[in-house]
């Protein structure tokens, strides 16, 4: 089957969970389909075609620039038998290809625009356009993949016109040969960590979705013997960037051992940091699944996360980590959960081992790709 995989992010330009998903899914799909990847960037090689926003739109709203990429992608999909889009940045391209060439459109929902109202802070009026693009694509798609059961429920609530039979759950995956314990310490040495003190680790973008401000406030109340490492960059807006920097300065003023790494680290260094962390923290206020939690688990590290979205489908409360309920008092509950893990290294190690075992058993990318191809075949055969 000739498949076009449509995405904004693709190596080497991967900055979020959707990009990680596409990177590994594409790797596995190449042995199962005739695959072309269409993504943002420049050039074409090895089954990857890159597209740039039109230069005539330089300085325009980002939603308009995105639509120009979608048009460019759609123009290059004439020979595909099925198209599969990821995120609103590429959904419109898949929808246009469906209309233009009469081919099925499968889309994976990694998040939903109606549940991310803070995006209006980033896109302005473009948020209305991103929502329109997502709605147009999702309601007409031949199949919609939700990355968790919680995400499937959100999709059907946000888009009640969508036939529930078209919405399928295929969890995100993890490459447990790449993400596995690495007990080297060169990455820790470069950060300047004190090897005698445990540390809490966060890895993610500086966005309202990821709950970074809540984490910085909660960190004032965790055990002062613990260090905090923030691998946090790519702020959505100047406003969230300023808020983060102010909260970071306030935290540094009241506790030692707070480290901020704003640049994106090589994967090998992230794996080392994950391996040695006493606990990984995921304080998201909205998270359809959270690949980064799987990455931490695969490295044998206990996870403390918020009980939102698909996180409870990955982090088994009391077994592979602890979950903190959202809402009033969340920051106090998050700090308490982190302290609970920090205070009991033996339990933390058992949680980490259980997390590694669960990641290997249930979340391999090869199984994700096979389930995805079976859905492709079903869509083509039945035509919905």
Residues 87 and 23 in one domain: yes
Residues 159 and 64 in one domain: yes
41 torsion bin: left (phi>0), alpha (psi -120 to 50), beta (else): left
Confidence of residue 122 (pLDDT cuts 50, 70, 90): confident
- Given this model, what pLDDT does residue 120 score? 82
Residues 135 and 96 in one domain: yes
63 part of a folded domain: yes
Q: How many whole angstroms separate alpha carbon 126 and alpha carbon 110? A: 19
- Given this model, what pLDDT does residue 219 score? 97
Task: State the SS3 of the chain.
Answer: CEEEEECCCECCECCCHHHHHHHHHHHHHCCCCEEEEEEECCCEECCEEEECCCHHHCCCCHHHHHHHHHHHHHHCCCCCCEEEEECHHHHHHHHHHHHHHCCCEEEEECCCHHHCCCHHHHHCCHHHHHHHHHHHHHHHCCEEEECCHHHHHHHHHHCCCCCHHHEEECCCCECCCCCCCCCCCHHHHHHCCCCCCCEEEEEEECCCCCCHHHHHHHHHHCCCCCEEEEEEECCCCHHHHHHHHHHHHHHHHHCCCEEEECCCCCHHHHHHHHHHCCEEEECCCCCCCCHHHHHHHHCCCCEEEECCCCHHHHCCECCCEEEECCCCCHHHHHHHHHHHHHCCHHHHHHHHHHHHHHHHHHCEHHHHHHHHHHHHHHHHHHCC
- Given this model, what pLDDT does residue 213 score? 95
- Given this model, what pLDDT does residue 290 score? 82
Q: How many whole angstroms separate alpha carbon 71 and alpha carbon 64? A: 11
Q: What pLDDT, in 10s, does the model give residues 30-77?
A: 999 999 999 999 887 889 999 999 999 999 999 999 999 999 999 999
178 part of a folded domain: no
Residues 154 and 194 in one domain: no
Q: How many whole angstroms separate alpha carbon 186 and alpha carbon 268? A: 10
Confidence of residue 119 (pLDDT cuts 50, 70, 90): confident
181 part of a folded domain: no
Is pLDDT of 384 > 70? no
Residues 233 and 332 in one domain: yes
Model's pTM, two decimal places? 0.81
179 part of a folded domain: no
Residues 156 and 303 in one domain: no
Residues 91 and 220 in one domain: no
Q: How many whole angstroms separate alpha carbon 347 and alpha carbon 223? A: 17
Residues 133 and 280 in one domain: no
22 part of a folded domain: yes
CATH number of residue 285's parent domain: 3.40.50.2000
> Among candidates 212, 206, 201, 207, which has minimal Cα distance to 271?
201
Residues 289 and 190 in one domain: yes
> Among candidates 27, 25, 32, which has minimal Cα distance to 368?
25
28 part of a folded domain: yes
Residues 375 and 344 in one domain: no
Rg value, the chain, Cα: 21
Residues 208 and 219 in one domain: yes
- Given this model, what pLDDT does residue 311 score? 94
Residues 378 and 353 in one domain: no
38 part of a folded domain: yes
140 part of a folded domain: yes
> Among candidates 228, 358, 365, which has minimal Cα distance to 302?
358
Residue 316's domain comprises: 186-362
As for how many domains the chain has, the answer is: 2
């Amino acid at each position: 089957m000739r498949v076009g995989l449509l995405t904004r992010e693709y190596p080497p330009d991967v900055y979020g969970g959707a990009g990680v998903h596409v990177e590994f899914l594409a790797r596995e799909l190449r042995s199962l389909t005739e695959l072309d990847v269409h993504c943002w960037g420049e050039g074409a090689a090895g089954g990857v075609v890159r597209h740039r926003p039109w230069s005539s739109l330089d300085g325009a709203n980002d939603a308009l620039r995105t639509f120009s990429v979608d048009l460019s992608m759609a123009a290059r999909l004439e020979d595909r038998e099925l198209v599969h889009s990821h995120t609103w940045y590429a959904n419109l391209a898949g929808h246009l290809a469906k209309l233009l060439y009469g081919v099925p459109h499968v889309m994976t929902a990694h998040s939903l625009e109606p549940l991310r109202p803070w995006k209006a802070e980033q896109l302005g009026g473009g948020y209305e356009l991103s929502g329109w693009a997502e709605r147009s694509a999702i309601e007409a798609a031949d199949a919609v993949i939700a990355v968790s059961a919680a995400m499937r429920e959100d999709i059907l609530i946000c888009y009640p016109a969508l036939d529930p039979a078209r919405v399928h759950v295929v969890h995100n995956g993890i490459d447990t040969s790449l993400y596995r314990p690495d007990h080297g310490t060169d990455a820790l040495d470069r950060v300047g960590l004190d090897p005698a003190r445990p540390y809490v680790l966060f890895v993610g973008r500086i966005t309202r979705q990821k709950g970074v401000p809540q984490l910085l406030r909660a960190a004032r109340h965790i055990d002062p013997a613990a260090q905090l490492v923030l691998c946090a960059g790519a702020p959505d807006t100047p406003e969230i960037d300023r808020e983060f920097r102010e909260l970071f300065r306030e935290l540094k003023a009241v506790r030692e051992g707070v480290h901020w790494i704003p640049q994106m680290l090589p994967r090998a260094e992230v794996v080392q940091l994950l391996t040695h962390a006493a606990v990984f923290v995921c304080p998201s206020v909205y998270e359809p699944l959270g690949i980064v939690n799987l990455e931490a688990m695969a490295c044998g590290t206990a996870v403390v996360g918020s009980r939102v979205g698909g996180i409870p489908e990955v982090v088994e409360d009391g077994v592979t980590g602890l979950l903190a309920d959202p809402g009033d008092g969340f920051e106090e509950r998050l700090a308490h959960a982190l302290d609970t893990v920090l205070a009991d290294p033996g339990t933390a190690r058992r949680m980490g081992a259980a997390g590694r075992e669960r990641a290997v058993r249930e979340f391999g990318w090869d199984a994700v790709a096979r389930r995805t191809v079976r859905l492709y075949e079903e869509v083509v055969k039945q035509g919905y």
